[in-house]
Chain A
Amino acid sequence: MNVLLADDDDLLASLLGFRLKKGGYCVHHSSNGKEVKEYLKTNRPDIIVSDIMMPYFSGIELINYVRKDLSLDTPIIIISSAGNEENVLSAFELGANDFISKPFSPTELMVRLARELKKT
């Protein structure tokens, strides 16, 4: 299973990357929206985990890009910070499948990830 991890927080990305790989996933990490867009031009990950705040291209824009421009139904899990509830709502409206709020335990993300993948 291929996971696209989009997060500009290198600490979190490093930890999640480690856990995902340990869990048997193939991980591609991008630290900004521009890279994500570029990656999605030629790659089709099985699931996307993205921070809601990123340089160049926010998580919201990413959902829009995946659902509208690429017409893909790849599951998307959004990582948000506390106090960003409004954005989370618009993320769901645009087609995000799940969200997880920082700080969270990597194990929780792993569970949510597995659940989303089971649905597809």
Chain B
Amino acid sequence: MDGIQTENLLNQLKHLESSLSSFSFESLNVSEAASLKSSFRAFSDLLEQKIQNPNSHVSVVGMAKNPKDEIIAVDSRVKETKFIAHISHEIRTPLNGIIGFTNLLREDNLNESQSKKVDAIHMASQNLMEIINEVLEYSKLTSGMEDFVSVNFNFRGLINDVIFLCQTLLMDRNIDLRLKIDEKIPGTLMGDPSKLSQILLNVLGNAIKFVEKGFIKLEVSLLDLGNDDCRLRFVVADSGIGMSAEQLEHVFDCFKQASSDIYPKYGGTGLGLCIVKELVERQGGEISAESQFGEGATFRFTIPYKKGSSKHIPKQSLNTIDRSKGKEMLGGTKILVFEDNTMNQHLIKEQLDKWGCKVYVTSNVDNGLGILRTQQIDLILMDLKMPGLNGFQISEIIRGDAYIEQVPIIAVSADYTATDEEKCIASGIDDFLLKPYTLDELLKKLLKAKNQTDLSKNSKDLLRKSIITGKASAAVDLLGVLEDCCGEISVLEELIRLFKQNVYEFIGTVKINLKQNNLKEIGFAAHKLKAGIKMLQLENLVNIMMDMQTNSEEGNEIKVRALFEDFLIRYPEYEKEIDTSLSILKTQKED
């Protein structure tokens, strides 16, 4: 990795920046625009800091404490790798925000030129995210930090999942996706399944990019079969545009795309195949490519595996469930998904929707905790690799909260190692789902977790009722606010949506800062939320916020905790009242 990498990243950033700045935020009234804008501000501030002031990374990467020692001790290549990895990590968070908000914006009624621009921003930020993920991946690989696991896995299941994903990518294109698997290949292999699916998705994904019509085929055959081990040969061939001899020579080099006009048309970093090569070779395999310009390309690689035993596949029971009954068994279940990858977010939501679940997806911890406290979630799917706090830390916070501690948490991750299992138990995670998973596996885990909740739920409901009926009921009158909105329901609705979002964020902020004993932040958060509560005239809650603010300023932690608990008990009633009141106003309006 050399200077080209920094340059490439910077070029992509500029690309995004220019499409963002050509977008006029002022022309939008909707709140998403404001949020998008503030995400972008955070994003560009960060860039300014990190890139225009490259000295700042010296202390940030956290190597030697004395800068002089560091400069001498650390070879510049490693330094750049770490630097890139570091800024890439930090950029991901605001970038996630940009992607999320453009998604929301796209659902609004935009005019043609607005939606074109939003699409452009969306594309640019998605591309950038892809690049950053690849850069991170590559730096991890080359720095030797990437661990390869050796676990038993279902080989054909994995291949089917990969093919399924490719088919969704090919959806409306006239391309024939062919699959041929040698029957002699053992059903269970031992090795690193997530690395294999990564390799296959990369190589197949590459083919999908370059094939306009014709076919893509994947062939897997058994090369050698010993007593304990075997060697597989994978061939991915396509009828795409192919490569010239010169292009072929550099196909596995970093950042070398076949030609400079590839990027605008096909996107990508040029890192994909470079990562694939590294992954194959680190597992003791070999890779090669063959192609002629205009006549498609063929990639061949081999990987050695140990023969596995199906008994050791983690927690896979033998009886299968009829997947079509998913809806019957899961319908109405409220599921909160912590997931930061937008494609995964989309996929999981679509699947759970099909089973009739009510799905909340978030990549933001504060937001997630807020949803948990207010929406009576039945179970949580937790990706362990989240930006900021990771899945273990989030789970610990959830388990430390008397009100939501019983919600089952299913961890989702690509790495399943013994330490993870211990860590899962320690953090209060109930179950574990290994990526990539089949729909059957997902369904089974969900059903198991749901059965647990159903048992404890009845008693919890009783408890909840007894707490609430002891308090004064929540009275909500939205008429005044509606008047301020000149009688326009849609504006009122928007305000309420913003208000709820603020409450969720408030809850998350307070929880995290209570853990870190940072009362000052809590005081500030209470002050901020107070404004919205006043606007909606939620009298009792205003008092709680004022007390929280004063007690935070005075450092009275016990009182702050008690007030917060009180808020958490009362708020859901208010939210219900707000929703009822809003729907009454809406029907009156229609009449």
Contact = CB atoms under 8 A, between A and B. Distances in A.
B26 A10 contact: no
B535 A103 contact: yes
B354 interface: no
Interface stretch (B314-322, B376-384, B483-491, B580-588): B483-491
Contact of B484 (A15, A21, A31, A32): A15
**DSSP majority for the A interface?**
helix
A42 B484 CA distance: 32
Interface residues of A, number: 26
A14 B534 contact: no
17 contacts: A9-B528, A9-B532, A10-B34, A10-B502, A11-B498, A11-B502, A12-B535, A14-B494, A14-B498, A15-B484, A19-B486, A21-B29, A22-B486, A29-B34, A102-B531, A102-B534, A103-B531
Contact of A11 (B29, B35, B38, B499): B499
Interface in A1-47: 8-15, 17-19, 21-22, 27-29, 31-32, 34-35
A15 B41 contact: no
Interface in B472-486: 484-486
A103 B530 CA distance: 10
A11 B495 contact: yes
A103 B502 CA distance: 18
B31 interface: yes
Interface in B498-535: 498-499, 502, 527-528, 531-532, 534-535
A10 B497 CA distance: 11
Nearest to A102: B531
Interface residues of B, number: 23
A90 interface: no
B526 to A, nearest CB: 12
A60 B152 CA distance: 65
A17 B35 CA distance: 14
Contacts of A81: 527, 531
Interface string A95-111: 00000001101110000
Contact of B34 (A13, A102, A107): A13
Contact of A15 (B26, B485, B502, B534): B485
Contact of A14 (B31, B38, B488, B528): B31
A19 B29 CA distance: 11
Interface string B31-75: 100110010010000000000000000000000000000000000
Contact of B491 (A9, A15, A28): A15
B29 A17 contact: yes
B495 A15 contact: yes
Nearest to B33: A29
A102 B494 CA distance: 20
A29 B35 CA distance: 12
Which 10 residue pairs are nearest across A and B when measured between Cβ atoms? A11-B532, A103-B534, A9-B531, A106-B484, A11-B498, A18-B491, A14-B31, A10-B498, A28-B26, A11-B499
A18 B502 CA distance: 19
Nearest to A10: B498
